[in-house]
Amino acid sequence: MDLVFGMKLFTRVVETENFSEVARQFNMNPSSVSRQIASLEEELKTQLVNRTTRKISLTEAGRIYYEKARQILQDIEDANLSVSSLRTIPKGQLKISIPITFGGLYIVPLLPIFAKMYPEISIDLTLSDSFTDLVEEGYDLAIRIGSLADSSLIAKKLAPNRRRVVGTKSYFKRHGQPEVPADLEKHSCLVYKGDQFRPVWNFNDGKKDQQIQVSGQFRANNADALLAACAQGLGLAYLPEWM
């Protein structure tokens, strides 16, 4: 049987001393209430209620059970209310993982606004380009750039991540400007070195995909560093448009 429901019926019977009144409150027949109390006693293997034609009284076990059951039901109600309040007033800790450059440009500036809107939420932010295990590390929210490996995580695409090959006028003056992707094999390319490092740049001309193996004298695991090196004419960088 449903012990919690049985507790509710039992405590109301004790408090009203009337099976018919409890039946009315729970939209049941009085006989159904009586059977539920009997089932509860059978489950507990002890008599809780002394039944007479005139009065309902508790056994010693019934008095003990009533006090415990009333406290348990109150604890359940308190637990339900505490969770319900989270739906109306968000509170607690929000643990976030975002890429360093993207986070610094687009997410961090918004966090003070978010904090003012939701003062009961504390923010635990990690800026990292590493592909950590979000579940194992206990993250509530993460932004990732690139392909998402198969997982049970709930994911939503925010926007396409288009990239461009960029360089300075001084670099192009010294080394010439590539006309087609294959020309990049002859240039000094600034390579991103991440967890899934492959010195390959991907292109699509609307008909087919091309993968170009690139190389150069500078590698970094941070897009800002690649942009800075590119701005100094050290080579060509393959960077997202949002930078």
What is the domain class of 3-88 according to CATH?
mainly alpha
Query: Residue 18: what pLDDT?
Result: 87
| Alpha-carbon distances of 22 from 28, 32, 34, 56, 115, rounded to whole Å | 8, 10, 10, 13, 48
Q: Mean pLDDT, to the nearest integer, of 20-39?
A: 90
Q: Where are the domains of the chain?
A: 3-88, 92-142, 163-240
**Measured between alpha carbons, how far is 53 from 38 in angstroms, rounded to an integer?**
16
Contacts (Cβ under 8 Å, ≥6 apart) of 178? 165, 184, 186, 187, 236
Query: What are the pLDDT digits (tens) for 58-81?
Result: 899 999 999 999 999 999 988 888
Token pair of 148 as six digits: 């998402």
Q: What is the pLDDT of residues 142-189, one digit of tens each?
A: 998 877 776 677 888 888 888 899 999 999 999 999 999 999 999 999
CATH class held by domain 163-240: alpha beta
* 23-41 average pLDDT score: 90
Are 3-88 and 92-142 equal in CATH topology?
no
pLDDT digits (tens, 9 = 90+) for 182-230: 999 999 999 988 655 668 888 887 788 888 899 888 998 888 999 999 9
Class of domain 92-142: alpha beta
**Tens-digit pLDDT profile for residues 87-127:** 677 888 999 999 999 999 999 999 999 999 989 899 999 99
Supply the pLDDT for residue 89: 77
What number of residues does the chain have? 243
Spell out the alpha helix ranges (H) of the chain: 3-16, 19-25, 30-44, 60-88, 100-102, 111-117, 169-175, 223-231
The 10 Å Cβ neighbour count of residue 178 is 18
